[in-house]
Structure 1
Amino acid sequence: MAETMAGIAADMLTIDAGRLHADIEAVNAIGRIDGVPGINRISFSDADMAGRRWLLARIEDAGLVARMDAVGNVFGRWEIGSGPAVLAGSHLDTVPRGGPLDGTLGVCAALEAVRAMRASGLRPARPVEVVATADEEGRFGGMLGSQAICGEVGPEWIASAVDDTGAGLADAMRAQGLDPAAEVARCPDEIAVFLELHVEQGPVLEATGEPIGVAGAVSGVFNWTVTLTGEANHAGTTPMTLRRDAFRGLASFGAAIDGILARAGGPDTRLTVGKVALEPNFPHSVAGRATFSLIGRDVDEAVMRTVASACREAIHRAAAAHGLGVGIAEQSWLPPTPLDPAVAARLSAVAGGARIMPSGAGHDAQTFARHVPAGLIFIPSRGGISHSPDEWTGLEHIERGATVLARSMAAFALDDSDTSSDGEHLA
């Protein structure tokens, strides 16, 4: 009977949508810059750290134990029950000119869920924690905060990590009073489940009219920086047949992408050249150097490897055709990550039978899923737009998604049985 009553209590849990919206607006006031669109809380910037301090204060206001670890992860713990905790959240850092909900929604909704549980008089069987991870957007590569919590990266990796300007992660952390030499990893046995609410960042839910999705797997990602080196020369005097034009090599590779996808890719494959720099970058000069990013994604690692190999071959073909040198720096390779099927099924049930779908974007949930049961809830993105000032989701979808998160957190917190599908992660 007690279990039945607990389940009914979780199913009836409601959030304060006005308070959640106010929190989202308040934290997004941090990172707005006059004349610059979007939200700008770049990891380890002053705005990023101000956002973390704002969250610490809100956590304390909610009556939780607040702390920030040595790499900048913020935690708010409801010390109740016993055993491993239900951990929920996302991140507060943004890309430059980012949107108002990517990451921020998941953090604010997790805090609101705990406030709703406390206000309703629920007495969970296990502790509940809110988390805002550090540098999820990968300014320095990877997903620092969740990877540090899970023990995937530590001081040695931090000491060598740099951003695309050459700035060191360790220096950026020290400048904000953090400690790049500290160990912050937590034992997996401390975490019963990790849950994350996120905007979809894609068009599927909006196109199908579905209010909620649950991720079954997160795409893997490979991240390369490619440099094609030719010869800078005068644009008027150098015959086309004698040029070693780095831009034309880049353009040839770009034109080959459709063929790569047709031969080697699948329906979930994504290839993106998102950042390009030409040198000398002058209208009357042949480009002597082209440096560009190449990001590949798929939910099948075998497909990823085939696509990566095809990309490498196409880059070398394009370079050879234009007499260019090639340099490929492989910044990172994150394999696809399946999310716990039992957790996904439970989230779908709480949402009333939500679709199970792949996630093309990377999320903290994929890091946690390699170590503990993890689940990821999606709500629609208007126009499928994200990483942009135009990112938005209607308030009715935000309220619905936050309610599903809150009821899911309550369901796992009230249940003191093993939440994983294989029982390996829990005490």
Structure 2
Amino acid sequence: MDLSVNLERIKTDIHELAEIGRCRDDRGIYRMAFTDADMEGKRWLKDRIEQAGFEPRTDGAVNISAELSGSTDRPRILVGSHIDTVPCAGALDGTLGVIVALECLRCLREQGVVPERTIELIAFSDEEGRFGGMFGSQAVCGQLNPDALATLSDLDGVLLGDELRRHGFDPLGALDAARDPETIASYLELHIEQGPVLDRGQKSVGIVDEITGLFTWSVNLKGEANHAGTTPMEMRHDAFMGLADFASAIPRILDENGSARSRATIGKAQILPGAANTVPGIVEFSLDVRDTSPETLADLGNAFRKALSAIARRRNLMFEFQQKSYLPPVAADPAVVQRLLRQAEQLELTHLQMHSGAAHDAQIMGSMVPVGMIFVPSKNGQSHSPAEWTAWTDIEAGANLMLHSLIDLANPISTT
């Protein structure tokens, strides 16, 4: 079927939505979940849906959806992403997937395509985790409970429930957003890669086969603060030197216990008491570990614990850690992956089968239904910043791949 998206409409939508929450000083977008800017973005999306001739719907988790009705009541195809952002964000993360999904529905409607399966656009709430998870997709997958809805808060202590009530929503309504997995055939998501692989490889699209799992730890190394001038080196209980030893051991641990898809990052550290003339007595730091295999993640966790224990003994330190989060890896559905690859070949797109090193709503949806993801390149691998961008030709390629993949998966049976 010779159909293609309207790139000019995609451009217009991206530019318009990018102005909602834009800071004039740093040019970053501040549309964090359930802020006034986020709610304005949701209203913008609902208006766009109506202009396209569809009926916008809002569920109890404030997910926005619209559907192109199919000719049967067979399980539907969901396609989407999110429009909330991190602070000082770029214009594409999440947003591109929602806008492309809307454009696909517009294109199919305009061309009179009647799919066998209903195709539903969904824009999930709070994928970026302001309140600690992926609220919208977790609600759809039935992973929330009343206790979580009453206690979830952001880093400033603002309660999720208070924010929902401020905008006129009952927090417990999120429980009603849960879907029956038997009604969903698959979920598709288009997203910027947020890394450099496609850009450096000069590929137009990526077909995701696995989405990484991850765990994050908060680690404390405790030694003894003492005078920097009077304490001999061999008599110190220097907590920072323990961190230095651990950081230098990470490449070895990944080589011995990880895989080519393993990642480990110390992204935050605090040295106490923090004086230039004092041997550090306490170091607190974060550890983010990722891999696409749950067994490898477990092996890495054991190896990192053993390394910390050995370093603590050698440096006369104490250590403790707390697991702050865990997301299991999710494999994209092999049949969906093959259909995406086949469509990419038929469209003669340069493509790469690859894994996702970042978490996405597809990871949550993949716990319940078959999922597939399409990546488009990120210029210089940049994301979560105003420098985030993707060439229009690659956006068009990814959007057309999504359009034809939806046609394939929804099995259209007639056009008028």
**TM-score, length of structure 1 as denominator length:** 0.87
**Aligned Cα root-mean-square deviation (Å):** 2.4
Q: Structure 1 residue 57 and structure 2 residue 47: aligned?
A: yes
Tell me the distance in 2 between the aligned counterparts of 1:333 and 1:272: 15
The 1:312/1:67 distance shift into structure 2, 3 A limit, reads same
Residue pair 1:221, 1:335 contacting (<8 A) in 2 also: yes
Tell me the distance in 2 between the aligned counterparts of 1:375 and 1:367: 12
Q: Structure 1 residue 404 and structure 2 residue 401: aligned?
A: yes
Where 2:28 maps in the other structure, the secondary structure is: coil
Identity of paired residues, percent? 45
2:180 to 184, 187, 190: 187
Residue pair 1:143, 1:364 contacting (<8 A) in 2 also: yes
**Alignment match, 1:225:** 218
Where 2:78 maps in the other structure, the secondary structure is: strand
The 1:288/1:389 distance shift into structure 2, 3 A limit, reads farther
Tell me the distance in 2 between the aligned counterparts of 1:35 and 1:235: 42
**Alignment match, 1:82:** 72
Deviation at 1:24, TM superposition (A): 1.0
> Which letter maps to 2:307?
A
Q: Deviations over 1:142-164 (max 9, x none)?
A: 32211210112333333343444
Tell me the distance in 2 between the aligned counterparts of 1:286 and 1:175: 48
Higher mean C-alpha displacement, 96-105 vs 275-284: 275-284
> Within 5 A, what are the aligned runs for 1:2-401?
8=1, 12-83=2-73, 84-182=75-173, 183=175, 184-231=177-224, 240-241=233-234, 243-281=236-274, 283=276, 286-352=279-345, 354-401=351-398
Deviation at 1:232, TM superposition (A): 5.1
**TM-score, length of structure 2 as denominator length:** 0.89
Residue pair 1:148, 1:154 contacting (<8 A) in 2 also: no
Where 1:65 maps in the other structure, the secondary structure is: coil
Deviation at 1:304, TM superposition (A): 0.8
Higher mean C-alpha displacement, 241-250 vs 82-91: 241-250
**Alignment match, 1:5:** none
Tell me the distance in 2 between the aligned counterparts of 1:320 and 1:229: 11
> Which letter maps to 1:69?
D
Residue pair 2:272, 2:282 contacting (<8 A) in 1 also: yes
Q: Deviations over 1:30-83 (max 9, x none)?
A: 222232353222223222222222212211222212122222221122344332
Residue pair 1:71, 1:179 contacting (<8 A) in 2 also: no
Deviation at 1:165, TM superposition (A): 4.5
2:410 to 400, 409, 413: 413
The 1:242/1:415 distance shift into structure 2, 3 A limit, reads farther
Consecutive unaligned residues of structure 1, counting only runs of 5 or more, are 1-7, 417-427
> Which letter maps to 1:106?
G
> How many aligned positions are there?
406
Tell me the distance in 2 between the aligned counterparts of 1:401 and 1:101: 13
Higher mean C-alpha displacement, 194-203 vs 163-172: 163-172
The 1:176/1:313 distance shift into structure 2, 3 A limit, reads farther
Tell me the distance in 2 between the aligned counterparts of 1:164 and 1:277: 17
> Which letter maps to 1:399?
E
Q: Deviations over 1:195-214 (max 9, x none)?
A: 11111122222222221121
> Which letter maps to 2:402?
L
Tell me the distance in 2 between the aligned counterparts of 1:44 and 1:139: 9
Residue pair 2:114, 2:412 contacting (<8 A) in 1 also: no
Higher mean C-alpha displacement, 35-44 vs 187-196: 35-44
Consecutive unaligned residues of structure 2, counting only runs of 5 or more, are none
> Which letter maps to 2:119?
V
The 1:264/1:403 distance shift into structure 2, 3 A limit, reads same
The 1:290/1:180 distance shift into structure 2, 3 A limit, reads farther
> Which letter maps to 2:5?
I
> Which letter maps to 1:254?
A
The 1:227/1:373 distance shift into structure 2, 3 A limit, reads same
Residue pair 2:113, 2:412 contacting (<8 A) in 1 also: no
Deviation at 1:192, TM superposition (A): 2.0
